Structure 1
Amino acid sequence: MRIAVGSGNPVKRRAVEAAVAGTLDSPEIEAVAVDSGVSEQPTGQEETVAGAQNRARNALAAGDYDLGVGLEGGVAEVSGVDGLFLIMWVAVTDGEAVGLGSGPSFRLPASIGDRVAAGEELGPVMDDVLGEEGVAEKQGAAGALSDGVVDRDDALAAGVAAAMGPFVTDQY
Protein backbone atom coordinates (compact mmCIF):
# COMPACT_ATOMS: atom_id res chain seq x y z
CA MET A 1 0.00 0.00 0.00
CA ARG A 2 1.33 3.42 -0.99
CA ILE A 3 0.57 6.26 1.42
CA ALA A 4 1.25 9.93 0.74
CA VAL A 5 1.71 12.21 3.74
CA GLY A 6 0.75 15.75 2.79
CA SER A 7 3.75 17.49 4.31
CA GLY A 8 7.51 17.68 4.05
CA ASN A 9 7.81 17.74 7.86
CA PRO A 10 9.63 14.57 9.00
CA VAL A 11 7.62 14.50 12.24
CA LYS A 12 4.41 14.00 10.30
CA ARG A 13 5.91 11.18 8.24
CA ARG A 14 7.18 9.45 11.40
CA ALA A 15 3.74 9.80 12.99
CA VAL A 16 2.13 7.99 10.06
CA GLU A 17 4.81 5.28 10.14
CA ALA A 18 4.21 4.72 13.87
CA ALA A 19 0.42 4.65 13.49
CA VAL A 20 0.33 2.07 10.68
CA ALA A 21 3.13 -0.17 11.96
CA GLY A 22 1.65 -3.63 12.35
CA THR A 23 -1.76 -2.72 10.89
CA LEU A 24 -0.97 -2.52 7.18
CA ASP A 25 1.01 -5.01 5.13
CA SER A 26 4.31 -3.44 3.98
CA PRO A 27 3.19 0.18 3.63
CA GLU A 28 5.31 2.54 1.51
CA ILE A 29 5.06 5.97 3.08
CA GLU A 30 6.18 9.07 1.20
CA ALA A 31 6.21 12.69 2.29
CA VAL A 32 4.69 14.97 -0.34
CA ALA A 33 4.74 18.73 0.18
CA VAL A 34 1.24 20.04 -0.58
CA ASP A 35 -0.79 23.14 0.10
CA SER A 36 -3.16 23.07 3.07
CA GLY A 37 -5.43 25.74 1.63
CA VAL A 38 -5.70 27.36 5.07
CA SER A 39 -3.70 30.01 6.89
CA GLU A 40 -0.16 29.28 8.10
CA GLN A 41 -1.52 29.28 11.66
CA PRO A 42 -4.97 27.70 11.50
CA THR A 43 -7.34 29.04 14.13
CA GLY A 44 -10.33 27.06 15.33
CA GLN A 45 -11.45 23.48 14.87
CA GLU A 46 -13.11 24.15 11.50
CA GLU A 47 -10.06 25.67 9.81
CA THR A 48 -7.73 23.04 11.28
CA VAL A 49 -9.94 20.16 10.10
CA ALA A 50 -10.22 21.79 6.65
CA GLY A 51 -6.42 22.00 6.45
CA ALA A 52 -6.08 18.31 7.29
CA GLN A 53 -8.70 17.33 4.71
CA ASN A 54 -7.14 19.52 2.02
CA ARG A 55 -3.70 18.06 2.71
CA ALA A 56 -5.06 14.50 2.52
CA ARG A 57 -6.83 15.11 -0.81
CA ASN A 58 -3.86 16.99 -2.29
CA ALA A 59 -1.41 14.31 -1.18
CA LEU A 60 -3.54 11.55 -2.72
CA ALA A 61 -3.76 13.50 -5.98
CA ALA A 62 0.01 14.06 -6.10
CA GLY A 63 0.79 10.60 -7.46
CA ASP A 64 -0.18 6.95 -7.63
CA TYR A 65 -1.15 6.47 -3.97
CA ASP A 66 -3.71 4.32 -2.19
CA LEU A 67 -4.17 6.72 0.71
CA GLY A 68 -3.54 10.39 1.33
CA VAL A 69 -2.92 11.58 4.89
CA GLY A 70 -3.21 15.17 6.02
CA LEU A 71 -2.04 16.34 9.44
CA GLU A 72 -2.76 19.88 10.59
CA GLY A 73 -1.93 21.63 13.82
CA GLY A 74 -3.85 24.68 14.91
CA VAL A 75 -4.98 26.66 17.89
CA ALA A 76 -8.51 27.03 19.22
CA GLU A 77 -10.55 28.36 22.06
CA VAL A 78 -12.64 25.85 23.97
CA SER A 79 -16.10 26.91 25.08
CA GLY A 80 -16.26 27.43 28.82
CA VAL A 81 -12.49 27.22 29.31
CA ASP A 82 -10.04 30.10 29.53
CA GLY A 83 -7.04 30.24 27.27
CA LEU A 84 -5.96 29.03 23.86
CA PHE A 85 -5.31 25.37 23.08
CA LEU A 86 -2.94 23.63 20.69
CA ILE A 87 -5.07 21.23 18.62
CA MET A 88 -4.23 18.70 15.94
CA TRP A 89 -6.43 17.04 13.34
CA VAL A 90 -5.77 14.24 10.86
CA ALA A 91 -7.65 13.24 7.72
CA VAL A 92 -7.09 10.08 5.69
CA THR A 93 -8.70 9.47 2.31
CA ASP A 94 -8.67 6.92 -0.46
CA GLY A 95 -10.54 9.32 -2.74
CA GLU A 96 -13.96 8.08 -1.61
CA ALA A 97 -14.01 7.56 2.14
CA VAL A 98 -12.53 10.01 4.62
CA GLY A 99 -11.40 9.15 8.12
CA LEU A 100 -10.93 11.87 10.73
CA GLY A 101 -9.14 11.81 14.04
CA SER A 102 -7.49 14.19 16.43
CA GLY A 103 -4.52 14.16 18.72
CA PRO A 104 -4.50 15.49 22.26
CA SER A 105 -5.09 19.16 23.00
CA PHE A 106 -2.70 21.19 25.14
CA ARG A 107 -3.61 24.43 26.87
CA LEU A 108 -1.04 27.03 25.93
CA PRO A 109 0.52 29.07 28.73
CA ALA A 110 -0.80 32.65 28.59
CA SER A 111 2.65 33.95 27.61
CA ILE A 112 2.53 31.77 24.48
CA GLY A 113 -1.20 31.86 23.80
CA ASP A 114 -1.31 35.66 23.94
CA ARG A 115 1.41 35.92 21.29
CA VAL A 116 -0.35 33.44 19.01
CA ALA A 117 -3.69 35.19 19.53
CA ALA A 118 -1.96 38.43 18.52
CA GLY A 119 -1.03 36.89 15.15
CA GLU A 120 2.28 35.07 15.64
CA GLU A 121 2.67 31.44 14.54
CA LEU A 122 3.06 28.85 17.28
CA GLY A 123 6.22 27.25 15.84
CA PRO A 124 8.35 30.41 15.84
CA VAL A 125 6.95 31.41 19.25
CA MET A 126 8.01 28.03 20.66
CA ASP A 127 11.47 28.45 19.08
CA ASP A 128 11.76 31.84 20.75
CA VAL A 129 10.48 30.70 24.15
CA LEU A 130 12.71 27.61 24.21
CA GLY A 131 15.73 29.29 22.64
CA GLU A 132 15.92 26.58 19.97
CA GLU A 133 15.38 26.34 16.22
CA GLY A 134 13.00 23.92 14.54
CA VAL A 135 11.00 22.89 17.60
CA ALA A 136 8.10 21.97 15.26
CA GLU A 137 10.31 19.37 13.58
CA LYS A 138 11.51 17.94 16.89
CA GLN A 139 9.52 17.60 20.12
CA GLY A 140 6.95 20.21 19.09
CA ALA A 141 4.91 22.27 21.48
CA ALA A 142 3.38 19.02 22.76
CA GLY A 143 6.78 17.80 23.98
CA ALA A 144 7.68 21.11 25.54
CA LEU A 145 4.31 21.49 27.28
CA SER A 146 4.31 17.93 28.67
CA ASP A 147 8.01 17.92 29.63
CA GLY A 148 8.61 15.20 27.06
CA VAL A 149 5.92 12.81 28.28
CA VAL A 150 4.13 13.17 24.91
CA ASP A 151 6.14 14.53 22.01
CA ARG A 152 4.77 15.74 18.69
CA ASP A 153 5.36 12.35 17.02
CA ASP A 154 3.27 10.57 19.68
CA ALA A 155 0.51 13.17 19.66
CA LEU A 156 0.15 13.11 15.89
CA ALA A 157 0.39 9.30 15.73
CA ALA A 158 -2.66 9.07 18.01
CA GLY A 159 -4.59 11.26 15.58
CA VAL A 160 -3.43 9.20 12.59
CA ALA A 161 -4.47 5.96 14.30
CA ALA A 162 -7.93 7.41 14.94
CA ALA A 163 -8.31 8.65 11.35
CA MET A 164 -7.16 5.31 9.89
CA GLY A 165 -10.17 3.52 11.41
CA PRO A 166 -12.23 3.25 8.21
CA PHE A 167 -9.25 1.75 6.41
CA VAL A 168 -8.10 -0.82 8.96
CA THR A 169 -11.32 -2.09 10.56
CA ASP A 170 -14.76 -3.22 9.43
CA GLN A 171 -16.44 -1.17 12.17
CA TYR A 172 -17.14 1.74 9.82
Structure 2
Amino acid sequence: MGSKNPAKVHAVQEVLIKEPFEVHSVDVPSLVSAQPFSDEETVTGAINRAKQALASADAAFSIGLEGGVYRQNGHLYLCNWGALVTPEQAIYTAGGLRMQLPTYMVEKLEQGYELSAALAANASQQEGAVGVLTNGRISRKEMFTHIVRACYGQYLVH
Protein backbone atom coordinates (compact mmCIF):
# COMPACT_ATOMS: atom_id res chain seq x y z
CA MET A 1 0.00 0.00 0.00
CA GLY A 2 1.24 3.44 -0.88
CA SER A 3 1.22 5.27 2.44
CA LYS A 4 2.58 5.18 5.96
CA ASN A 5 -0.39 7.21 7.26
CA PRO A 6 -1.80 5.20 10.20
CA ALA A 7 -5.47 5.75 9.32
CA LYS A 8 -4.91 4.56 5.74
CA VAL A 9 -2.76 1.58 6.75
CA HIS A 10 -5.26 0.47 9.41
CA ALA A 11 -8.12 0.75 6.89
CA VAL A 12 -6.33 -1.62 4.50
CA GLN A 13 -5.40 -3.98 7.34
CA GLU A 14 -9.01 -4.11 8.55
CA VAL A 15 -10.33 -5.08 5.12
CA LEU A 16 -7.62 -7.66 4.38
CA ILE A 17 -7.20 -9.15 7.88
CA LYS A 18 -8.94 -12.43 6.97
CA GLU A 19 -7.48 -12.59 3.47
CA PRO A 20 -4.31 -14.48 2.47
CA PHE A 21 -2.24 -11.30 2.12
CA GLU A 22 0.33 -9.45 4.20
CA VAL A 23 -0.04 -5.68 4.23
CA HIS A 24 3.18 -3.76 3.61
CA SER A 25 3.17 0.01 3.54
CA VAL A 26 5.65 2.22 1.72
CA ASP A 27 5.90 5.98 1.73
CA VAL A 28 5.41 7.13 -1.86
CA PRO A 29 4.41 10.54 -3.22
CA SER A 30 1.03 11.13 -4.84
CA LEU A 31 2.63 13.11 -7.70
CA VAL A 32 -0.24 15.60 -7.48
CA SER A 33 -0.58 18.83 -5.49
CA ALA A 34 0.01 18.60 -1.75
CA GLN A 35 -3.66 19.63 -1.49
CA PRO A 36 -5.61 18.14 -4.40
CA PHE A 37 -8.38 20.53 -5.49
CA SER A 38 -10.59 18.31 -7.65
CA ASP A 39 -11.98 14.80 -7.87
CA GLU A 40 -9.74 14.18 -10.89
CA GLU A 41 -6.57 15.24 -9.09
CA THR A 42 -7.51 13.28 -5.96
CA VAL A 43 -8.22 10.00 -7.79
CA THR A 44 -5.04 10.50 -9.83
CA GLY A 45 -3.11 10.79 -6.57
CA ALA A 46 -4.62 7.52 -5.32
CA ILE A 47 -3.75 5.73 -8.58
CA ASN A 48 -0.22 7.14 -8.53
CA ARG A 49 0.33 5.95 -4.96
CA ALA A 50 -0.92 2.45 -5.79
CA LYS A 51 1.24 2.20 -8.93
CA GLN A 52 4.39 3.36 -7.16
CA ALA A 53 3.83 1.03 -4.21
CA LEU A 54 3.31 -1.90 -6.59
CA ALA A 55 6.53 -1.06 -8.42
CA SER A 56 8.44 -1.33 -5.15
CA ALA A 57 7.19 -4.81 -4.20
CA ASP A 58 6.32 -8.21 -5.60
CA ALA A 59 2.62 -8.16 -4.73
CA ALA A 60 -0.74 -9.43 -6.00
CA PHE A 61 -1.98 -5.81 -5.98
CA SER A 62 -1.43 -2.47 -4.31
CA ILE A 63 -3.77 0.12 -2.85
CA GLY A 64 -3.44 3.89 -2.86
CA LEU A 65 -5.65 6.26 -0.89
CA GLU A 66 -5.88 10.03 -1.28
CA GLY A 67 -7.92 12.80 0.30
CA GLY A 68 -8.74 16.08 -1.37
CA VAL A 69 -11.35 18.75 -1.89
CA TYR A 70 -13.51 19.81 -4.83
CA ARG A 71 -15.78 22.73 -5.67
CA GLN A 72 -19.43 22.26 -6.58
CA ASN A 73 -22.25 24.80 -6.74
CA GLY A 74 -20.10 27.45 -5.08
CA HIS A 75 -19.14 25.27 -2.09
CA LEU A 76 -15.99 23.38 -1.24
CA TYR A 77 -16.38 19.69 -0.29
CA LEU A 78 -14.16 17.04 1.21
CA CYS A 79 -13.53 14.06 -1.10
CA ASN A 80 -11.60 10.82 -0.77
CA TRP A 81 -10.54 8.30 -3.38
CA GLY A 82 -8.88 4.92 -3.47
CA ALA A 83 -7.33 2.78 -6.18
CA LEU A 84 -6.31 -0.86 -6.35
CA VAL A 85 -3.75 -1.64 -9.08
CA THR A 86 -2.66 -5.12 -10.22
CA PRO A 87 0.65 -6.11 -11.85
CA GLU A 88 -1.29 -6.37 -15.13
CA GLN A 89 -2.20 -2.67 -14.65
CA ALA A 90 -5.90 -3.29 -14.02
CA ILE A 91 -7.13 -0.32 -11.99
CA TYR A 92 -10.16 -0.38 -9.69
CA THR A 93 -11.21 2.93 -8.14
CA ALA A 94 -13.81 4.03 -5.62
CA GLY A 95 -14.73 7.32 -3.99
CA GLY A 96 -15.93 7.90 -0.47
CA LEU A 97 -17.72 10.28 1.82
CA ARG A 98 -18.30 13.84 0.68
CA MET A 99 -19.19 16.69 2.94
CA GLN A 100 -19.28 20.45 2.71
CA LEU A 101 -16.40 22.24 4.41
CA PRO A 102 -17.08 25.08 6.85
CA THR A 103 -16.10 28.65 5.97
CA TYR A 104 -13.05 28.75 8.26
CA MET A 105 -11.55 25.73 6.45
CA VAL A 106 -12.39 27.10 3.00
CA GLU A 107 -10.68 30.40 3.83
CA LYS A 108 -7.50 28.61 4.93
CA LEU A 109 -7.51 26.38 1.82
CA GLU A 110 -7.96 29.39 -0.44
CA GLN A 111 -4.94 30.99 1.29
CA GLY A 112 -2.85 27.98 0.21
CA TYR A 113 -2.97 25.85 3.35
CA GLU A 114 -3.37 22.09 3.15
CA LEU A 115 -6.50 20.61 4.71
CA SER A 116 -4.54 19.24 7.67
CA ALA A 117 -3.36 22.79 8.50
CA ALA A 118 -6.88 24.19 8.11
CA LEU A 119 -8.25 21.85 10.78
CA ALA A 120 -8.85 22.73 14.38
CA ALA A 121 -5.63 22.69 16.43
CA ASN A 122 -6.66 19.51 18.27
CA ALA A 123 -7.30 17.40 15.17
CA SER A 124 -4.99 14.42 14.94
CA GLN A 125 -3.84 12.51 11.87
CA GLN A 126 -6.14 9.69 12.96
CA GLU A 127 -9.15 12.00 13.33
CA GLY A 128 -8.63 14.05 10.16
CA ALA A 129 -11.15 16.43 8.65
CA VAL A 130 -13.94 13.86 8.71
CA GLY A 131 -13.46 13.35 12.45
CA VAL A 132 -13.58 17.09 13.09
CA LEU A 133 -16.57 17.64 10.78
CA THR A 134 -18.61 14.77 12.27
CA ASN A 135 -17.59 15.48 15.86
CA GLY A 136 -15.87 12.10 16.02
CA ARG A 137 -18.83 10.10 14.72
CA ILE A 138 -16.91 8.94 11.63
CA SER A 139 -13.18 8.30 11.85
CA ARG A 140 -10.71 8.79 9.04
CA LYS A 141 -9.93 5.06 9.18
CA GLU A 142 -13.62 4.19 8.91
CA MET A 143 -14.05 6.50 5.92
CA PHE A 144 -11.06 4.95 4.12
CA THR A 145 -12.17 1.40 5.06
CA HIS A 146 -15.31 1.79 2.92
CA ILE A 147 -13.20 2.86 -0.04
CA VAL A 148 -10.80 -0.08 0.40
CA ARG A 149 -13.77 -2.49 0.62
CA ALA A 150 -15.17 -1.08 -2.63
CA CYS A 151 -11.84 -1.35 -4.48
CA TYR A 152 -11.13 -4.85 -3.17
CA GLY A 153 -14.67 -6.00 -3.96
CA GLN A 154 -14.26 -4.88 -7.57
CA TYR A 155 -10.96 -6.74 -7.76
CA LEU A 156 -12.62 -9.95 -6.53
CA VAL A 157 -15.44 -9.90 -9.10
CA HIS A 158 -13.19 -9.23 -12.12
What's the TM-score, normalizing by structure 2? Answer: 0.93
Q: Higher strand fraction: Structure 1 or Structure 2? A: 1
Letter matched to residue 154 of structure 2:
P
Matching residue's letter, 1:104 = L
In structure 2, the residue corresponding to 1:31 is in which secondary structure? coil
Structure 2 unaligned regions, length at least 5: none
2:60 to 47, 59, 66: 66
1:7 aligns with 2:3: yes
**CA distance in 2 between partners of 1:148 and 1:16 (Å):** 20
What is the alpha-carbon distance in structure 1 between the residues aligned to residue 138 and residue 112 of structure 2?
A: 26
Q: Which residue matches 1:55?
A: 49
Name the residue aligned to 2:75. 83
TM-score, with length taken from structure 1? 0.86
CA distance, structure 1, for counterparts of residue 111 and residue 151 of structure 2: 31
> Which residue of the partner structure matches residue 109 of structure 1?
102
Q: Distance in 2 between matches of 1:75 and 1:14?
A: 22
* Distance (whole Å) between structure 2 residues aligned to residue 48 and residue 30 of structure 1: 22
Task: Quote how far apart the aligned CAs of 1:95 are.
Answer: 2.4
2:16 aligns with 20
Letter in 1 for 2:93: L
Tell me the amino acid that sits aligned with residue 142 of structure 1. V
Deviations 1:88-121 (A, max 9, x none): 0000011221110112012110111121122110
- Over the matched positions of the two proteins, sequence identity in percent amounts to 35
Counterpart Cα distance in 1 of 2:77 and 2:110: 11
In the alignment, what sits opposite 1:143? 131
- The answer to whether the aligner puts 1:160 opposite 2:148 as a matched pair is yes
Give the aligned residue type for 2:141.
Answer: D
**Structure 1 CA distance, aligned partners of 2:106 and 2:14?**
29
| CA offset digits 1:42-85 (Å, max 9, x no partner) | 1101100110000000000011121111000001012x3x4211
| Counterparts of 1:7 and 1:106, CA distance in 2 | 23
Q: How many residues align?
A: 157
Give distance in 2, aligned partners of 1:87 and 1:95: 27
Kept after mapping to 2: 8 A contact 1:71/1:90 = yes
| Counterpart residue identity of residue 92, structure 2 | G
1:9 CA displacement: 0.8
Greater than 4 Å deviation, 4+ residue runs: none
Cα RMSD after superposing both structures: 1.4
Alignment match, 1:30: 24
